[in-house]
Structure 1
Amino acid sequence: MNISIWSDIRCPFCYIGKRKFEAALSKFPHKDAITFEWKSFELDPTLETNTNINAINHFIESKGVDADDASEMFNNVTEMASEVGLNFNLNNAVVANSLNAHRLLHFAKTLNRSNELKEALLKAHLEEGKNIDDLEVLIEIASTVGIDKNDAKTVLTSEQYTYDVRQDQMEARNLGINAVPFFVINNKYGISGAQPESVFAKNLEKIWEETNKSPLKMAEVSNDNTCDINGNCN
């Protein structure tokens, strides 16, 4: 069973959703038969990195919301994160474009390090207040998950994997995905949002059963009275 997950490093619900999905997956009896991959989705591809404004003020200005309402929203999300063991520091999150981070994730995928890097990038942006569009910061983060610094620098100082990011986003549009996180199971079933662990668990079990239906169970009979494909009858 394969699961594709569209998300953005800038998205707090993507980190929360990751934790809830991982919790459900860890208890799933067939977890070793499941593969999953991270897909790129930029919440705002046109966003310009700006280290001179904090995240909440940027949110107020860009969304046109009241300061008190914005503060309440940030506090609510922070509380949701704490329930799954995350320590968000959204007020200090750097307003940063995520394209370079997504390109680095595609490179990490070729090294089987994408899940580790995804975790490190989310933590850096949402908990540690690091600039995920700063090349030196990205190179350092990459090194913490076993990626060679020189290799990471080569990728980041080029246009490598930009096409792959755009392809992920085009695929999302073709599937009608316009919000993240979004989980697609076996290219057929979609789960939108940071759903409760129980929702992920229920759907994993249901889809597994539908995908791996058992053969017919034979009723107890006195004799077969059948002929097989080779013409043998009994």
Structure 2
Amino acid sequence: MLIEIWSDIMCPFCYIGKHQFENALNQLTFKSDIEVQYKSYQLNPEYHYVAGDTTYGFLSRSKGISVEQAKEMTGHVVQMASQVGLNIDFDTNIPANTFKSHELIHFAASQNKAKEMKERLFQAHFEQGKNIEDQAVLVQLAEEVGLNPEEAREALKTDRYATAVRRDLQEAKQIGIRGVPFFLFDRKYAVSGAQGADAFQEVITKSYEEWKANKPDITFLKSNDDAPNCGNDGCTI
């Protein structure tokens, strides 16, 4: 069963929601039947990092609040993150345009490393104060999760995965997504926001049971173990 997740690396609730979702999924006996796809979303596509800018300054300008109010607001997010074992540090957090990060996740997906790449980007952005708009940083992070750094650099330099990112963004508009994280279960049920693990587990289970019930069983019209075939142990001759 397919679960699609739209999120942005600049979104702390996406980081928290990712962990809540994974905590729920890991407790389910049928998790091997679940395919997770990470979709791109940009909260602030026009923003680009300027040296010296801070998250507090960015929030102050974008939301029309004081820096002190921004610090108070992010303090609540830090507390929420700590409850799921995440150590978000807004004092060192660097606001950034995330388009290239999403390109990197698509590249990682082509190598079956999307989950690891997304987690590493979240960690670098929210916990380690790295500038994820810097392509050198992105290449280093790709190497850290086991991707070929030269291939990652080439993918980012040539915008090879830019079309895939734009397709995700356009699809989000078509679906009507206005906030992230946004979880779509089997193209049937949707959940928005960083829900608790129990809530995710309930929706995953409901979606899976319906998907399983509607999945047609295979009926063999002809079955002969002696007929020539190839399997995991090799081919019969």
Per the TM superposition, whether the score is higher than 0.5 is yes
C-alpha distance after superposition, 1:25-51 (max 9, x if no partner): 000121111010100001111111123
Instruction: Provide the C-alpha distance between the structure 1 equivalents of 2:214 and 2:44, rounded to a whole number of angstroms.
Output: 45
1:48-67 matches, within 5 Å, as 48-67=48-67
| Residue aligning to 2:157 | 157
| Residue aligning to 1:210 | 210
Unaligned runs of 5+ in 1: 216-234
Task: State the superposition RMSD in angstroms.
Answer: 1.3
Instruction: Provide the C-alpha distance between the structure 2 equivalents of 1:214 and 1:64, rounded to a whole number of angstroms.
Output: 50
1:214 deviates by 8.8
Instruction: Provide the C-alpha distance between the structure 1 equivalents of 2:45 and 2:168, rounded to a whole number of angstroms.
Output: 13
Q: Indicate yes or no: 2:169 matched with 1:169.
A: yes
Q: Secondary structure at the match of 2:77?
A: helix
1:56 deviates by 0.7
C-alpha distance after superposition, 1:82-112 (max 9, x if no partner): 0000000012111211011111111111000
C-alpha distance after superposition, 1:135-188 (max 9, x if no partner): 111010000011111111111112211111010011111111111000001111
| Residue aligning to 2:44 | 44
1:71 deviates by 1.5
User: Aligned AA for 1:124?
Assistant: A
1:121-200 matches, within 5 Å, as 121-200=121-200
Matched length = 215
Instruction: Provide the C-alpha distance between the structure 2 equivalents of 1:211 and 1:47, rounded to a whole number of angstroms.
Output: 40
Q: Secondary structure at the match of 1:95?
A: coil
| Residue aligning to 2:11 | 11
| Residue aligning to 1:95 | 95
Instruction: Provide the C-alpha distance between the structure 2 equivalents of 1:31 and 1:89, rounded to a whole number of angstroms.
Output: 32
Moved more, 205-214 or 174-183: 205-214
Instruction: Provide the C-alpha distance between the structure 1 equivalents of 2:33 and 2:39, rounded to a whole number of angstroms.
Output: 20
Question: Which aligned runs of 4 or more in structure 1 are off by greater than 3 angstroms?
Answer: none
Q: Secondary structure at the match of 1:146?
A: coil
Normalized against structure 2, the TM-score is what?
0.88
Describe the shift of the 1:155–1:214 C-alpha distance in structure 2 as closer, same or farther (beyond 3 A): closer
- Identity among equivalent positions (%) equals 41
User: Aligned AA for 1:87?
Assistant: N
1:74 deviates by 0.4
Normalized against structure 1, the TM-score is what?
0.89
